[in-house]
Structure formats: structure tokens, C-alpha cells
Structure 1
Amino acid sequence: MRALVTGVGGQDGRYLVDRLLAEGTEVHGFAHEAEPRPDLPGVEVHLGDLTRHDDVRRLVLDVAPDEIYNLAAVSSVARSWQEPDLVAAVNGDAAVALLETALQVQQRSGREVRFVQASSAEIFGEPGSEPQTERTPLRPVNPYGEAKAAAHRACATHRRRGLHAASLVLYSHESPRRPPGFVTRRITSTVAAIARGEADELVLGNLEARRDWGWAPDYVDAMVRAARADRPDDFVVATGVAHSVRDFVAAAFRHAGVPDPEAHLRVDGSRLRPRDAGVQVGDATRARTVLGWQPTVAFDELVRRMVEADLSEGGGAGRAGSRRTRSS
């Protein structure tokens, strides 16, 4: 078995690599050439740029993987407002090109290629109802969601052409491997720094945004299950429970042992996004029924693990070069 993982250096990519290598899979990873080469023992890492479709196509045809996991993306919703063309090219167009290449590998080799697209709850935008399911209309409200929606639709198109293409609508999923640029990790790293006396204040934007947060390794498990399923489909991957950013902050301060969190918290209205998605909470009934998947880590335990990991780092991530951390 041979797998190709794009975005291999990110949170999900690293957990996925751990899983595939443990199974004995030959793993090839694709990472952006402008970023430091990820240190992933046992993985053959290829550097490049997903927007150079011809180069990527040659690479994929040469590797000829049995499974392709497309995790690569410009992952910041905030950045998508600043660079919408780049986000459309990476999160949308590159995914479509990769799907087409997977089909070419299948046609040339005469064996099935299985493709997993990491989609996002942002494709639903303002859904008008909750929880969201695979039947919820796509109504993205930001460039990130627009690009992810294009890739999501392309999976259905390529299924009709005979490709085993699954699109997983991943709701927010976290771990200590989240980079500090993500609001959840900024919260836990800054709270840990406050607990150590190395920071004074946590500065955030919208505290009332509600999200369905799960444990990243659980969501990687869903990816592998979708790749190995008898039939490809779209799957919502979520816990079914929404919490606010304020809830996340309160849990982080509690697990860090910091009393009176309000004394360390400040809201900065300039950090609000031009437009925020509605309440994101997913119904993973199809994933549970078809894939046998279920989340294993509840919200409070997830926050505890992240805070404890940041506390154990001794301040490396918490300082972040500043005594104040703002949301992305």
C-alpha cells in the first residue's frame, strides 16, 4: 500500500503519517517548497507548489499512490479575506487538479485509487439550521469557504466519473500540534504563559462564536475509514456539540489553575472578521453508521490536554515573542 499526503507538515498530516506508518504503509508527503522541510522519519517528502499543476501531476503519476489524502490548504479564514486569489488557487483549483490526476493514475495503472478531500464546515457558511448534515446547502460566507466548496463539489463530480473520492466535512478539530496562529492554540499557549507569570493578557475578537470542537486524531481516523470504505461519499465529521470561544477560554484558565480569568481577558473589536460563519455544529450520523466512526475525546478533555501540553513546554509556545496574543 502506498499513500500520498499533501499538507504533510500540518497537524492532521503528522497524525495521519503516524497512523499510516504504523500500518506499514509506504508514505509519500507533499509540502510547500517555501516552508521548512518537515522532519518526518519514514516518509519520503516531496517539496513543490500545488498551484503548479503540471509539476504536481508528473509527481503523482510517478509515485502512483493507492491512496491520496489532500490536506493541503491555506488554513486561515482571516487570511482568505486578505488573499482570496491565493486561497482559491490552493484550496479550490489545486484540489480539482489533484482529483483529475488521481483519475489519470487509476486509468493508467488499471487499479483503483482512493482519494480523500479535507473539506470544512465553512462550506455551510450561514446554514440556517443546526446541526448540519451532508444535505445542508452550501452557502459559504468567506473566500476560504468558497474555495473549499469548489473542491467539495468536485469530489462528487469525480465520483460520477468512477473515482473513489470522499469529501470529509471536518468541523474544528484541535490538538497540541496546532500552530499558535490558530485561535485555540493561541488561547491555550497564552493562558499557560499567564499561569507561569510570563504574560498578562489574552486579547481576542468574537468570544461568542460557537464551534463544534473535536480531537484531531479522531478526525484523522475518519479520513482513513473513508478511504477504506466500500463506497465513497461525503461525510460530516463532528462531535455534535457546540461551544463558544468564551467557553474555550474559561476551560483553559480553569485547567491552568488561573483564578478570575476575566481579569486577564480583553476583547478587541478590531480583530473581528469582516463576516463570521453562523453556528457550526455537525451531525455525524452518516460517518457513525457507514464508517463506524465516533469521537473519543470530549471538549473539556481536549482543552485540558492542550493546556497541559503548553504548560509542559516551559514557555516556548506561550511567549510567542510578546506578552499579548491576538486571535487570527
Structure 2
Amino acid sequence: MTDARRALITGITGQDGGHLAELLHGKGYEVYGLMRGQNNPRRVEVESEMPYVRLIEGDLIDPTSLVRAVETSDPHELYNLAAISHVGYSFKNPTLTADVTAKGVLNVLEAVRITGRSESTKVYQASTSEMFGGLDYNRPGAGYNENSLFHPRSPYGVAKLYGHWIAKNYRESYGMFVSCGILFNHEGERRGVEFVTRKITHAVARIKLGMQSNIELGDLWPKRDWGYAGDFVEGMWRMLQHDVPDDFVLATGETHSIEEFLTLAFAEIGIDDWRPYVVQNPAYMRPAEVDILLGDPTKAEDVLGWRRAVDFPGLVRRMVAHDLRLAEAQRASA
């Protein structure tokens, strides 16, 4: 081990894992990443994009592998980002979602505790705005903050709520430094194409180049508080630099509908009316939908000095530009 600070990131293959690894490497950290499976299809991509990350094989549902990962990396900071993170998928596979997204958090915390690192390792737990579920009995008309009531409306949201509360329990029971980031929707170039924002920008780029004719989506009216993932990982890091562990909402404080996202995305390729290119498919509609999620980041701004840098139009512009470059490269190599 060197004198550099060490960080272990679970979920290294995900959007946030990539952004966070990049941020921490730039700050001089030794970065370790937990990767599930010996033949993980993302291994080559991660090794190519982030050669500075030391990969450790492990799984949130395998406590022994987590103990090994903590012992190997001996982290000053552990960022638990791994989860079954797609809301729609969680309805189809609720048991797996519970095992990974809920119980997995307990396994991570136990790995830190039983290896004797309760005082030396700071833990970040990735909580989510989906825990609120679109119902706000405390602050009608205002954004959710750290004191708002929870009412999750998906197996994913329920599992995340368990992870959130068990993290708080370990903080209070064992004196561990565990901070929970209640993050509202954050998107970007690394977002998987199964998520609606990236699905849109990926399709828009391909429509522009004549590689596909339309895009199938579910409901278009839900509103979300959408920010840029690169901004949000800065907030994660700031939480673990704070003197005391706590819970913080990260959000932009404004909402936009999927229709608004579509309007801006198609405008980037010179199309004013997106409706001829969008087909609504009931298969993509959820059994229980959240109408609106709006966050109040006041505490993070005041206490941590965190601010988002990329606005909503800038986010859409960045994602469309990235997917245009990707589609052009794919077409050229075909």
C-alpha cells in the first residue's frame, strides 16, 4: 500500500462508478472497483477506459467476497453504488432486486464492521429519490428534502429504502461513518440505453443518421428532477469529506417531463415535432408510476458547498452529441 488515499467502489461498471472513479483518480486516490463475475462482459471496457482502477471480483450477495474486497483494498472510503438499479426491471425481478439492492447494503456494512474497519473506513450509501415515491405529506408544492416522508412505489424503491435505513442503523449502532446520498435522477453519456433519457438520445442520433425510424416509449408525462451524473459524484465525494456522517439530497430543484426531454433532444438534430417518431408502447408502462419527483438540494448546497454545473438543456445537448459521435463511428465501421 502507498500513502495515497484508497477508495473502493462497488458498481464500478455503472454510470456513477465510471464518473466517480475518474473524479477520485484525478484527486490522487488509489481506486479499487468491485466487479461481479469472472467473465463480466464489461471488464475489457472498464480496463480500457479506466486502466488506473484495480478490479476486484466480488458480488453484493456474496458476503465472503465483500470481506476479501475490503481486506484487499483497505479503503479509506467505500462507495456502495452497486444495485439492481432499473425501476421497470425491479417489477419483473423483485426477489433479485431485494437480494442485491437491499440485503447487499447490509453485506457491505458487515464486511466493513467485521474486518475491524468501523472507525477507519468512511462509507457512502447510494440512496435514491425513488424512496419518496411522488407523495409528499410534509411539503406540498415544494421539493423533497432530508426530512420528507418516504412512500416507495416500486420494488426498487422499497429495496433502496431498506438499504437507506440499515445504513443509518449502522451509523447509530456502531458509530460508523456512513453517509447516505439521496440522489434525484442524474444522467449522462455513461447512462445505460435501457434508461429513458439515454434511450431517447441514442435513438435520436440513429434517426438523424437514418439508422432507425422511431423510438418506443411508455408514459411521457412523468416529471423528473434531472441533473448530470458528473456533477452528482462530486457531491458524493464531498459527503465523505464532511466532518460528520449525514444524509444529503442532491438535486437540481427543477423538474422536466419526458416530453420536454424529447423536444430538446430532437431539436438538437433539427426536428421541431418529435411526435411522428415516437410510438407509445404499453409494455414500457409501469404498474405504479411516480408522477413527479422534485428535490430540494438546499442542505447539500449550504453544508457541503455543492452546486450542479450542467443545466437541463446542457445535459440533453451533451448526451445527444455523444450518441451522434457513437452512431457515426458505428456506421463507419459497419
- TM range, smaller chain: over 0.9
Deviation at 1:61, TM superposition (A): 2.8
Q: What RMSD, in angstroms, separates the aligned Cα atoms of the two structures?
A: 1.7
Work out the percentage of aligned pairs sharing the same amino acid: 38
Q: Alpha-carbon deviations, 1:179-215, whole Å to 9, x = none? A: 2111111100101111112211122111001100001
Contact kept? 1:167, 1:234, Cα under 8 Å: yes
| Residue pair 1:310, 1:317 contacting (<8 A) in 2 also | no
* 1:292 equivalent in alignment to 2:305: yes
**1:241 correspondence with 2:254:** yes
Structure 1 residue ranges without an equivalent (≥5): 322-328
Instruction: Kindly state the Cα deviation for residue 158 of structure 1 after the two structures are TM-superposed.
Output: 1.4
Asked if the contact 1:188–1:307 (Cα under 8 Å) also holds between the matched residues in 2, the reply is yes
Contact map agreement 2:105 2:167 (CA 8 A) in 1: no
1:176 has 2:166 as partner:
no
1:179-328 alignment, distance < 5 Å: 179-315=192-328
In 2: Cα distance, 1:217 partner to 1:317 partner: 25
Secondary structure of 2:202's match?
helix
SS, match of residue 256 in structure 1: coil
- The two structures have a TM-score, normalised by structure 1, of 0.92
CA contact (8 A) 1:189 1:317 kept: no
Asked if the contact 1:208/1:244 (under 8 Å) is kept, the reply is yes
Asked whether the equivalents of residues 72 and 91 of structure 1 are also in contact (C-alpha less than 8 Å), the reply is: yes
Q: Secondary structure at the match of 2:272?
A: coil
Tell me which amino acid in the other structure corresponds to 1:67.
E
> Within 2, Cα distance between the matches of 1:97 and 1:109?
14
2:294 maps to a residue whose letter is V
**C-alpha contact 1:12 1:71 (8 A) present in aligned 2:** yes
Work out whether 1:35 is the aligned partner of 2:40.
yes
Give, in angstroms, the shift of residue 82 of structure 1.
Answer: 0.9
Residue 135 of structure 2: which of 114, 117, 127 is its match? 127
Gaps in structure 2 of 5+ consecutive residues? none
Alignment counterpart, residue 163 of structure 2, candidates 129, 140, 151: 151
Cα distance in 1, alignment partners of residues 299 and 249 from structure 2: 7
Q: Deviations over 1:59-81 (max 9, x none)?
A: 21342211000000111111101
Looking at structure 2, the residues matched to 110 and 87 of structure 1 have their Cα atoms a distance apart, in angstroms, of 27
Structure 2: distance between partners of 1:301 and 1:249: 14
2:120 matches 1:112: yes
Q: Which stretch of the first structure deviates more once superposed, 203-212 or 192-201?
A: 192-201
Aligned pair count? Answer: 317
